[in-house]
Chains A and B, each alone.
Chain A
């Protein structure tokens, strides 16, 4: 039993970045364990993607099948159960995304193996794999030990650098057998959330507000401040969920990625799903009353204080 198997994720005929990220996490781990990395690609019309994966894997298991035209965890699961049982990898890595988390837990149940979500670090040991992951909104890390073989891990998106090509793996065409029958769920379509014309991704300065603003009526002075300094107003997910700002203003993994010159985070804790959308900003300023807020780990400048006091004072200084 050996080898690290990585499930590639693709959408709209193209590999998603996370596939390359997980492959490079697998490569790093494989160097420690002396194993090989095997990428798994299930799809239809994916020859070109298989070639690209081969630069990052010792082997690409490529299955073409009409049932793989659109993602459905049931078809993927049917194929992966067969593949994992046949090839007996020591570790299976899946992206921790809407695609991967829809598949991973039920796959683990069917294979009878242990699974850890949202992995950010790996330490192989003689009797299993130790996995590091964040908990409590990033305030703590947890180390979890997986005692089964294979160990199944879902790997955090936008965490590992997608580099490390340089391999020339062989592409193996694999016949997945009977897949796509007996399905109880059916893919209908992908919809793009309709745009209302707001675009926060082009802004030079962004003021991001989080749940720390507490109430919708507190947004007024912040909006005025943002306008005064020529910034665009954006928010964390809870602010959008509450309907205080439009969906197009959401920053993060399920929102937009912004890379402004200056990003000012007000009352945002710094959960990785938010950070994924703003960590590329040139200068990050965070105001948060909690000195332990994870946002201070990505900020360049930090103020521990009540944002409702800091914003008016700052507005005055910039009058």
Chain B
């Protein structure tokens, strides 16, 4: 069985000061650290677990700039056999569906049995690529998957619904499965793995090399367009407690005592 995992390189913005750049449509990147998209990391783990259970080969695909090679190397170090990066220089402004078009073009040329994606990208937060990719390929999909049991032809998945419910489904292959966080424990790369990754194939492809219909990608090929990014207006601002740690703790203790908590 051939398994592919789609990996996205994203900025780690949880603790960073995120500033809109001069174009109004991007963020200032120079002081940000980049990493593998969190849900994709779980998707990769699911693929590697499957590889260990069955006779399967895991490859990686990323649409991104040169720097995305780092994320792919990390995936290779964890156990994937090979990786491909589709350069996105000419694909700027692609929305979720346009990105799915790029990946679909790649998989039409390089068929696999099963594609894993993360269920959401932590930067754009769209949750679109997996299901859209499946539709373009004419395959079924399933999303928010936290558990997958793989049979010879079909798979049983558990999808997470709101409110503490799991939906149990059965799905045929080939398929695209979008993985939610928490269903497994992503491994760390071993020193040996990192060493081995250096010699594993990591290929960079231009969109032309995958026979992409470029009228379907990039900003011009997208049916939605980013107009601007901005810092949301804060409606109800908190009362900020100032001072040194001891003063802050003192004031907070008073507030808690006032509320009958101590």
Contact = CB atoms under 8 A, between A and B. Distances in A.
A in complex with B: yes
A296 B13 contact: no
A124 to B, nearest CB: 14
Contact of B125 (A117, A261, A284): A117
Interface stretch (A38-46, A162-170, A190-198, A215-223): A190-198
A189 B156 CA distance: 11
A183 to B, nearest CB: 8
A256 B131 CA distance: 27
Contacts of B18: 136, 139-140, 292
A102 B144 contact: yes
B142 A102 contact: yes
A198 to B, nearest CB: 12
Interface in B45-87: none
Given A135-B125, A241-B182, A261 B259 contact: yes
A309 B166 contact: no
A88 B233 CA distance: 35
Contacts of B16: 290
A96 B228 CA distance: 22
Contacts of A255: 164
B61 to A, nearest CB: 18
A255 B180 CA distance: 14
B12 to A, nearest CB: 10
Contact of B224 (A145, A253, A285): A145
A4 interface: no
A281 to B, nearest CB: 11
B238 A301 contact: yes
Nearest to B17: A292
Given A130-B227, A313-B246, A190 B165 contact: yes
Interface stretch (A23-31, A50-58, A103-111, A173-181): A103-111
B132 A140 contact: no
Contacts of B223: 108, 112-115, 146-148
Contacts of A142: 124, 226-229
A147 B96 CA distance: 15
Contact of B162 (A98, A231, A298, A300): A98
Main secondary structure of the interface of A (DSSP, over half): mixed
A74 interface: yes
Given A117-B125, A192-B165, A185 B142 contact: yes
Main secondary structure of the interface of B (DSSP, over half): mixed
B231 interface: yes
Interface residues of B, number: 86
A105 B226 contact: no
Interface string A234-265: 00011011010000000001111000011000
Contacts of A137: 13-14, 122, 125
A188 interface: yes
B155 to A, nearest CB: 10
Nearest to A211: B14
B142 A296 contact: no
Contacts of B131: 73, 101-106
A91 interface: no
B252 A190 contact: no
B15 A289 contact: yes
Contacts of A211: 14
A143 B143 contact: no
Interface string A79-120: 000000000000000001111011111101110111111100
A105 B225 contact: no
Contacts of B122: 136-137
A145 B227 CA distance: 7
Contacts of A118: 125-127
A104 B185 CA distance: 29
A204 to B, nearest CB: 8
Given A116-B224, A184-B140, A316 B156 contact: no
A98 B159 contact: yes
Interface string B138-159: 0111111000000000001011
Interface stretch (B107-115, B168-176, B206-214): B168-176
Given A74-B140, A108-B97, A143 B166 contact: no
Contact of A140 (B20, B38, B166, B252): B20
A143 B228 contact: yes
B156 to A, nearest CB: 7
B228 A230 contact: no
B22 interface: no
A146 B253 CA distance: 50
A310 B17 contact: no
Contact of B261 (A230, A292, A297): A230
B123 interface: yes
A289 B16 CA distance: 10
A297 B234 contact: yes
B202 interface: no
18 contacts: A101-B143, A118-B127, A136-B11, A136-B13, A140-B27, A146-B224, A185-B171, A187-B167, A192-B165, A238-B38, A240-B182, A289-B15, A297-B238, A305-B245, A313-B248, A314-B249, A317-B250, A318-B262
Given A144-B226, A292-B17, 6 more contacts: A106-B141, A145-B224, A190-B168, A229-B256, A231-B261, A300-B238
7 nearest interchain CB pairs? A114-B223, A313-B249, A241-B182, A317-B253, A302-B238, A106-B135, A184-B140
